[in-house]
Amino acid sequence: MELRWKVRRLALKETFAIAHGNYDSRQSLLVEITHGGKSGYGECVEISYYGIVLADFYDALSGLSKLLKSQELVHPSKFYEFLTVFSAHPFLRSAVDCAYWDLYGKVFEKSFAELNGLQGKLPQSSLTLSCMPVDLQIEKLKQTPWDHFKVKCVGWDPQRVQALLETGKKIALDANTSFSPKDCEEISLSELGRELTYIEQPLKIGQYESLSSRDSCNWMADEDLQDDLQLDQLVGHYQSINIKLMKCGGLTPALALIKKAKSKGFKIMIGCMTESSVGISAGIALASLCDYADLDGAELIANDDATGSYVRNGTLSLAEGPGLGITMNTGVIT
């Protein structure tokens, strides 16, 4: 097998604002694994507030490239054991794992769903609105045919939330750790909290002890959940979890994490960062196992150079091709 990679700049259609800052583009690492004339693709993105710098992965990629030249094509679960031993960072591990699943399916001409016996209805995806004045958020809500929205916010503002809910759209909040324990107590006692689809990562990382899964509002863990080792600690505090492939290390560990989370009664969202259709296709491959989806990343990008599974007005559509169904419009990496 051959491993190639390149860094590309994903330009956003408009400035995106969250509690951690504003940005106009993302740096994305595109990984390609080839075997027998077939190519599989995966990606991860640079996230400054997670401390992710793509240049830190270059040495690991060079080492992986040398090792893969002698690696036989095995089942992805077996291949992931190899990645784990190599001790790659979860973001990089995710890109390589997803690329391998895409390749493996293409070689054996089976989709990810066929390889894993997945079937069932796909949830509607939310569209993310960045931090901005509420009148502009409401204007965007009214201008789009999407039904589900995740609204970024900085701090709890009940008047803003009331105005958003009055649009008739299904509204969730992403606090990005900007709420206080006092805010959360108020929310848990309010009618507004019950009307929101979920409230994602309200408190700073590790400060979830004041949250109760018995509250009428749907608390959802994001940064508080990196992998299945933390799942037990969240029981009794969160009702839902947001699984992002880059955080947990790829499709292989995500399958195991979803199974374990369901056994503990959690509702599950498959989420994304600002990824192209490469990363979004991997996320959509898991959507039938999830209660919620937030897979609008490629919709925010102006120069997406891939095709595969996609989202249109909130409806998820699986690519018909084998693997993850990913095709690069720019051809193979050279």
Return the closest-CA partner of residue 4 out of 22, 30, 38: 30
- For residue 121, the model assigns a pLDDT of 93
- For residue 310, the model assigns a pLDDT of 97
- For residue 287, the model assigns a pLDDT of 98
Element (H, E) at 327: strand 327-328
**Tokens read off for 93:** 């591990």
- For residue 159, the model assigns a pLDDT of 96
Pick the CATH number of 2-111 from 3.40.50.12370, 3.30.390.10, 3.40.640.10, 3.40.50.300: 3.30.390.10
- For residue 332, the model assigns a pLDDT of 58
For 255-309, the pLDDT digits (tens) are 999 999 999 999 999 999 899 999 999 999 999 999 999 999 999 899 999 999 9
**Tokens read off for 253:** 């560990």
- For residue 289, the model assigns a pLDDT of 98
pLDDT reading at 228 higher than 90? no
Mean pLDDT of the chain: 94
What mean pLDDT do residues 123-150 have?
94
Strands 170-174, 199-200: pairing kind: parallel
DSSP 56: G
Domain with CATH 3.20.20.120 in the chain: 116-328
- For residue 331, the model assigns a pLDDT of 65
DSSP 277: H
Dist CA 89 CA 195 (whole Å):
38
pLDDT reading at 20 higher than 80? no
User: Is residue 306 classed as helix, strand or coil in its secondary structure?
Assistant: strand
- Percent of the chain with pLDDT strictly greater than 70: 98
pLDDT reading at 139 higher than 80? yes
What mean pLDDT do residues 46-67 have?
90
What mean pLDDT do residues 138-148 have?
94
pLDDT reading at 327 higher than 60? yes
For 80-128, the pLDDT digits (tens) are 999 988 888 999 999 999 999 999 999 999 999 999 999 989 999 999 9
- Residue 313 contacts by C-beta under 8 Å, 6 or more apart in sequence? 144, 145, 146
User: Residue 293 phi/psi, 5° resolution?
Assistant: -140, 140
Dist CA 142 CA 146 (whole Å):
9
HSE-up (13 A, CA, CB side) for residue 155: 3
- For residue 76, the model assigns a pLDDT of 97
pLDDT reading at 14 higher than 90? no
What mean pLDDT do residues 165-171 have?
97
- Residue 318 contacts by C-beta under 8 Å, 6 or more apart in sequence? 111, 113, 122, 284, 285, 309, 325
pTM: 0.94
pLDDT reading at 334 higher than 60? no
pLDDT reading at 18 higher than 90? no
Q: Is 283 exposed, middle or buried, given 0-12, 13-18 or 19+ CB atoms closer than 10 A?
A: buried
**Tokens read off for 31:** 């990984």
- For residue 266, the model assigns a pLDDT of 97
Of the two residues 196 and 50, the one the predictor is more confident about is: 196
Dist CA 278 CA 163 (whole Å):
35
- For residue 19, the model assigns a pLDDT of 65
Dist CA 334 CA 323 (whole Å):
22
- For residue 86, the model assigns a pLDDT of 84
Cβ count near 168 (within 10 Å): 9
Domain with CATH 3.30.390.10 in the chain: 2-111
- For residue 126, the model assigns a pLDDT of 97
Dist CA 164 CA 172 (whole Å):
10
User: Residue 305 phi/psi, 5° resolution?
Assistant: -110, 20
CA 8 → CA 11, 31, 91, 183, 330, distances in Å? 9, 11, 16, 40, 12
Dihedral sign, Cα of residue 232, residue 237, residue 242, residue 248: negative
Dist CA 287 CA 293 (whole Å):
7
**Tokens read off for 69:** 């030249």
Pick the CATH number of 116-328 from 1.10.10.10, 3.30.360.10, 3.40.50.1980, 3.20.20.120: 3.20.20.120
User: Residue 314 phi/psi, 5° resolution?
Assistant: 95, -15
- For residue 333, the model assigns a pLDDT of 64
Q: Is 184 exposed, middle or buried, given 0-12, 13-18 or 19+ CB atoms closer than 10 A?
A: buried
CA 208 → CA 211, 223, 258, distances in Å? 5, 11, 21
Banded model confidence at residue 222, pLDDT cuts 50, 70, 90: very high
